[in-house]
Amino acid sequence: MSSSQIIEQIENAQIKENTPQFSVGDTVVVSTAIIEGKKRRIQKFEGTVVKKTGKRVRESFTVRRVIDKIGVEKTFLLHSPLVEDVSIVKRGVARRARLNYLRGRVGAKANRMKTKETKVKTS
Amino acid sequence: MKKFFIGKKIGMTQLVDEEGVVTPVTVLSADPCLVVDTQEAKDGMVTVVLGVGSVNHKRLNRCGTGFFKKKGIEPRAYLKGFRTELASGFSVGQEVGADVFAPADLVSVRSKTIGRGFTGTIKRHNFSRGPMAHGSKSHRIPGSIGAGTTPGRVFKGLRMAGHYGDEFVTVKNLRVVRVDLEGKLIFLAGAVPGKNGYVEIFS
């Protein structure tokens, strides 16, 4: 077995089963576990997926949302045990892999992505 | 007791534990090493020569073929002697496995860094660069290398451009994260110098 195959095997052994299929542009709610001492509670973060990167256990994604006129981006490791759930709220239409142009947006436009339905209506 | 082993760097990845802590690790393949030779010293120490890998006979010179013939051992690709106490009782032909290390051990790793060829002072000695514009021509030059008539020479050991890399470097205090005896793998936290290849691990 070649070196890269061994590395791939190690990385595949760590991935979670049944991770949700979502892509850049989708609006998702990410539930992460927060451990405070012995207590474990769930924190949710909703926003647009602006970036997906990495493969196998290294796969991570970034979610963006404008809160109180301040842009907040959080990056999650998809296969981390702390990321309990990623549920899809809306399927978005993204024409590029990285939605960095959202960073320049202000106001109502900043949190809104074109959805699949709206695209059907306009055409 | 001193622990030592010769591993083979395979590459890097990351391990995620139950608490979500990500550890960057270097994966080393850990096929058992063979004790090829023991050389006793007068001070009660012994040099245990470990060998790993296989090598074509044609690749060896007479000195090498003679050595392995005398020992009655198939030629090994990589040899390294480690000094240890005589009482630790190593004998020729004995196998040393990855089980000498346990998780949480701190080890040193010695290996050859990536060769960078003839390199300027900025990359080699972390010199500063000059301005790139506004009429400046001193972009990446090393600058002054000394005073004038006194002393009238350049001091020895002055840092200059030259060959960089392709030299042995030891990294200390790397933590053993996991030892996989079945898969013959050792996981070390952090980076190990050089390209994929043989590395010496000891503590």
**pTM: predicted TM-score of the whole model, two decimal places:** 0.80
Task: Please compute, for residue B135, the number of CA atoms within 13 A of its CA located in the half-sphere on the CB side.
Answer: 0
Contacts A3 to B, Cβ<8 Å? 10-11, 29, 196
Interchain CB contact of A51 with B (< 8 Å): no
Cβ-contact B47, B59 below 8 angstroms: no
Residue A116 has pLDDT above 70, yes or no: no
Q: Minimal CA–CA distance to B154: which of B145, B167, B163? A: B145
Low-confidence ranges of chain B (pLDDT < 50): none
B22 vs A11, A35, A77: nearest CB: A77
Contacts B12 to A, Cβ<8 Å? 7
Contacts A35 to B, Cβ<8 Å? 19
Cβ-contact B202, B82 below 8 angstroms: yes
DSSP state of B154: P
Q: Domain spans of chain A?
A: 21-105
H or E stretch at A12: helix A3-13
ipTM above 0.85, yes or no: no
pLDDT tens-place string over residues B29-68: 988 888 988 888 888 888 888 888 888 888 888 888 888 8
Task: Please compute, for residue B188, the number of CA atoms within 13 A of its CA located in the half-sphere on the CB side.
Answer: 29
In angstroms, the CA B98 to CA B170 distance is 19
Q: Which fold has domain A21-105?
A: SH3 type barrels. (2.30.30)
